[in-house]
Structure 1
Amino acid sequence: MILVTGTSGFIGSVLLDQLIAKFGAANVVALTSKPTDKCNYLLHNDYVFDPDFFMKSGYGKIDTIIHAGAFTPKNGNQANECYKCTSNITNTETLLKANIPNLKRFIFLSTLDVYSICDVLTEESPVIPISLYGQSKVYCEKMIVSWASQNKILPQILRIGHVYGPGEEKYQKAIPVMINKILNNESIQIFGSGEDIRSFIYIEDVINAIIKSIGLELFDGPINIVGGNQISIKNLAQVLIKNAESNTNIEFVETPNTNQRDFIFDNSKMKKYLLNQEIDLVLGLKKEYNYMKNLSE
């Protein structure tokens, strides 16, 4: 039986659907803030529950936890909100204290925000977060690995990269912002030259990697779930406009004293263990555009 948290979020909601499709609703439990009719669920009450909560609720057979629930900043200003970032640590600690006698594995969804700036990001890149959000995730990683070692539980730390696809419109990210501009017949604004490189991974690929991690039989350190689809911001806008068959204009806004920063990933470890093929970027962007277009109609 699989317990999954964060089922109301972008990744968590898709993950829940795919877990149910693969394992059956009877074998999935959502720890959530609001009821769901998709599967069994427990309300976490802001993670205020005693260690015997799951046993008393009749879910002592849980053998896998996928901890996707967390405070995730929707923009840069939220990344240093003290109380919200700290909740990532306290909520995880509450989950680790739970009495779940059949638990065998604990999968934690972390973030690339744990790393410092580097040319090509790998699992060996320096872990030096520049935000409280990143710091909270590093602390959770270390706490989980230590706890798992002491309790003979198999951990997996998955550091999730720049995910795109249907469902991300809740966040002020580049792709949904651009798509909204196209749908509203507004110009797309790009700050700077637009030559900054980004690397994206499609939501379905992320979910497939997470589910595949359930079957890993060893912990070989964190794995970055990141895309090899590299594209400049300017070319990203051009692809979206072409997909939409639109005449949307691109406006370049000068930003003095702003340094270009590229995000390029080496995802060879992910390919080795979890996902050997990614969806084509143009196809993925077309799917997201069509999804958002349908929402607006």
Structure 2
Amino acid sequence: MRVALIGGAGFIGTNLAIHLSKNEDVTIVDRSEKYFSTMKSLDLPVKYLVAPFELDANFDEQVKNQDIVYHLASTVIPGNSNNNIANELEANIIVTCKLLDACVRQGVKKVVFISSGGAVYGKQGECPIDEDTLSYPISSYGIEKITIEKLLYLYRYIHGLDYRVVRLANPYGPYQRPNGKLGVVTTFVYEMLNDRKLQVYGDGNVVRDFIYIEDAVKAIDKVVQGESNYKTFNIGSGMGVSVNNLIAVIEHTLKKTAKVEYIHGRSADVPVNYLDINRYESIYGRLVETPLKEGIKKTADFMRDFEL
């Protein structure tokens, strides 16, 4: 199968490329040559295409001769997405329409959208949250994700374009940049290894669902290759962990004491979110192979090996 990863040079795309390139013909598409440096250092058997994700992009070129297209591109940082709502929605939703139009013209068989297992659901009274739960996003990031999901439904209805939606929890692990913008597990492991202060939004009681990236990409691949009638799947651990408890697990795993600074919370952060993964496990079997403590250890070992 020929597979294109649009916006594929980031954390999730790199790990997908490592996994998929074992059996598939993979092309990585991203907007700058410099973004490919990590993957090129791995000497993966993949192709590279420098191309933007914007209104004037030639998406026909990006998806030509591809069987499956993974949509990983986004201009949004979730915690800041409410700062410029109109621009963010145009830069992601309208551009995605252009991408889907090209997929239809070029005969792509399936589009895979990596959505959000947190932002699309918004504030919910009960957890774990299953795929049939109504969506009430409290950020433009969540609005963007759920709107693209609905666009995929529409394009299937109009054009017969098959699709899968992966509502992904909070992935962490190798090749995630520990810059504090995304990925609290990776960021906190990095900061503690380097004896730096951890910045926690709010009081640390926010609850999230964390999944090791290797488990996530294996599950995504099964969803894409599977023949289920379901189009949307939650991919996560099925367990909620507060930020304070996460810090305690990292401390225990690394045998270090964290220095923590609590700062003002963000309006885009829902208080509690963890996913019901029964749909996935009833069809494809056990999802989580890497418990949180083991995943933290693997992440720390990766950072030490790469001298991050």
Alpha-carbon distance in structure 1 between the residues aligned to 2:110 and 2:130: 24
Alpha-carbon distance in structure 2 between the residues aligned to 1:243 and 1:255: 27
Alpha-carbon distance in structure 2 between the residues aligned to 1:182 and 1:235: 15
Alpha-carbon distance in structure 2 between the residues aligned to 1:65 and 1:105: 6
2:84 corresponding residue in structure 1: 81
2:135 corresponding residue in structure 1: 127
User: Cα distance, 1:204 vs. partner?
Assistant: 0.8
- Residue 222 of structure 2 contacts residue 284 of structure 2 at CA under 8 Å; is this kept in 1? yes
- Residue 229 of structure 1 contacts residue 281 of structure 1 at CA under 8 Å; is this kept in 2? no
1:42 corresponding residue in structure 2: 49
Pair 181,4 (structure 1): closer, same or farther in 2 beyond 3 Å? closer
1:19 corresponding residue in structure 2: 20
Pair 13,260 (structure 1): closer, same or farther in 2 beyond 3 Å? closer
Alpha-carbon distance in structure 2 between the residues aligned to 1:199 and 1:114: 14
User: Cα distance, 1:251 vs. partner?
Assistant: 4.7
2:299 corresponding residue in structure 1: 288
1:38-77 alpha-carbon deviations (Å, 9 max, x no partner):
422333233434565358xxx43x221111122231x522
User: Cα distance, 1:250 vs. partner?
Assistant: 5.1
1:117-174 alpha-carbon deviations (Å, 9 max, x no partner):
1121221222111111111112111111111222222211111111121233244343
Alpha-carbon distance in structure 1 between the residues aligned to 2:107 and 2:48: 18
2:29 corresponding residue in structure 1: 31
User: Cα distance, 1:190 vs. partner?
Assistant: 5.2
The equivalences for 1:116-265 within 5 A come to 116-118=122-124, 119-120=126-127, 121-168=129-176, 169-172=178-181, 173-186=183-196, 188=198, 194-246=204-256, 248-249=257-258, 251=260, 253=262, 261-265=271-275
Aligned AA (2:190): N
Aligned AA (1:163): P
Q: What TM-score do the two structures reach when normalised by structure 1?
A: 0.83
Secondary structure of the residue that 2:208 maps to in structure 1?
A: strand
Alpha-carbon distance in structure 2 between the residues aligned to 1:70 and 1:151: 24
Aligned AA (1:81): N
> Is residue 8 of structure 2 the alignment partner of residue 7 of structure 1?
yes
Aligned AA (1:28): V
User: Cα distance, 1:84 vs. partner?
Assistant: 3.2
- Residue 68 of structure 2 contacts residue 111 of structure 2 at CA under 8 Å; is this kept in 1? yes
Alpha-carbon distance in structure 2 between the residues aligned to 1:66 and 1:292: 27
1:277 corresponding residue in structure 2: 287
Q: Percent identity?
A: 24
User: Cα distance, 1:273 vs. partner?
Assistant: 3.6
2:70 corresponding residue in structure 1: 66
Pair 21,101 (structure 1): closer, same or farther in 2 beyond 3 Å? same
Pair 254,85 (structure 1): closer, same or farther in 2 beyond 3 Å? closer
Gaps of 5+ in 2: none
Aligned pair count reads 287
Pair 219,150 (structure 1): closer, same or farther in 2 beyond 3 Å? farther
Q: Larger C-alpha radius of gyration, 1 or 2?
A: 1
User: Cα distance, 1:177 vs. partner?
Assistant: 3.4
Alpha-carbon distance in structure 1 between the residues aligned to 2:62 and 2:190: 42
Q: What TM-score do the two structures reach when normalised by structure 2?
A: 0.81
Alpha-carbon distance in structure 2 between the residues aligned to 1:262 and 1:208: 26
Alpha-carbon distance in structure 2 between the residues aligned to 1:208 and 1:177: 23
Match of 2:111 among 106, 114, 122: 106
RMSD: 2.9
